[in-house]
Amino acid sequence: MRPIDAEAVAAAPAIRKSDSVGYLLAATGAILFSIKAIIVKLAYGLSVDPETLLALRMGFSLPFYLGIGFHAVAGRRYKLAALPSARATVRAMLIGALGMWVASYTDFLGLQYITAQFERLILLTYPMFVVIFGALFFRQPVTKRALIALAISYAGLTLIFGENFTLEGHNVAIGAGWVLIAAITFALYQLLAKTAIDDMGPKMFTCIGMTGASIAAFIEFFLSGHSASQLLVTGQLLFYSVLVAVGATVLPTFFMSAALHRISASANATIGVLSPVSTIILAAIILGERMSVMEVTGTLLVIGGVGWFTFAGRSKSLAR
């Protein structure tokens, strides 16, 4: 009989609580991120190009990140805590640019050609890349529970994918290719961000990383021949720009970073398959994109996979 580890038993409730909070944060972030595609499709109806829309998104987001970042720096100085080194800061900015500029820009390009539902389904292949890259390059274990949960969820996504694929035109390959690049870069972002978040904390990392992404978006905007006057928008486009900046950027990035601080990148990615469910429902209601019986069946499989992964893991922790 193995001896009982008193310290492990005492720490178990706190660990379970942290995991539960992490799962909730990850799910909330995934749902908020899912509204991005809906807003982008509505904005494209106003004849805005991807570079301008991305610059508007980051421009309206940046003041929040700078304000929260300065507050975090002041708090560390008050507590006499060390600030991130110049090297760590640059690294966080590059990671942020990878996940919130490269991934966002290629995603925006893809949304010009395919539906919001189809985009979200392709983008949600990123959990598979997180698991694969995590095992290959970051020495992260791949649990049977994660693989089974992903298999169930992707079975559902495959049903929905097949239903939508037959309805798309000749541009589907272009759009799907751009969004697949977004999925790969976002997976790398999650894996790289995990270490950086553990080093400097989720709040500090998010502010630095998103500042880096904003700078990259502005550089691209001006290098592509745009002028500052194109950012002076009004009416519906202004509303959509603020909505995608706050509701689908600022809030979910903090939720996701906080989740990565509590649970693994693989767990966060697996729970993230809730996102296409939200997109499908919202796209059907707001954009009029149809939702068939096959899509409903796939949606139920996605929910089943995510639910099993979350609650089976929690029950296993309770049993220890």
Comparing CA positions, the residue from 90, 111, 114, 94 lying closest to residue 102 is 94
* pLDDT reported for residue 17: 59
Contacts of 104 (CB under 8 A, 6+ apart): 54, 57, 182, 213, 217
Q: pLDDT confidence of 312, banded at 50, 70, 90?
A: low
* pLDDT reported for residue 28: 86
Which tens digit of pLDDT belongs to each residue from 120-172?
878 877 777 887 888 888 777 777 777 887 788 888 878 877 776 776 656 77
Average pLDDT over residues 230-254: 93
User: Token match 């694929």: residue?
Assistant: 165
Contact 69, 211 (CB under 8 A): yes
pLDDT for residue 14 is more than 70: no
Query: What is the enclosing helix (H) or strand (E) of 89?
Result: helix 86-97
Q: pLDDT confidence of 299, banded at 50, 70, 90?
A: confident
Comparing CA positions, the residue from 220, 218, 213, 280 lying closest to residue 253 is 213
Q: How many CA atoms lie within 13 A of 66 on its CB side?
A: 11
Q: Cα dihedral sign for 17, 72, 134, 299?
A: positive
* pLDDT reported for residue 311: 62
Q: pLDDT confidence of 23, banded at 50, 70, 90?
A: confident
pLDDT for residue 7 is more than 60: no
Q: Cα dihedral sign for 145, 148, 152, 158?
A: positive
- Highest mean pLDDT among 6-10, 19-23, 108-112 belongs to 108-112
Which tens digit of pLDDT belongs to each residue from 81-120?
888 999 999 999 999 999 889 999 999 999 999 888 888 8
3-state class of 2 per DSSP? coil
Average pLDDT over residues 209-226: 95
Average pLDDT over residues 256-260: 81
Cα 31 to Cα 260: distance, rounded to the nearest angstrom: 16
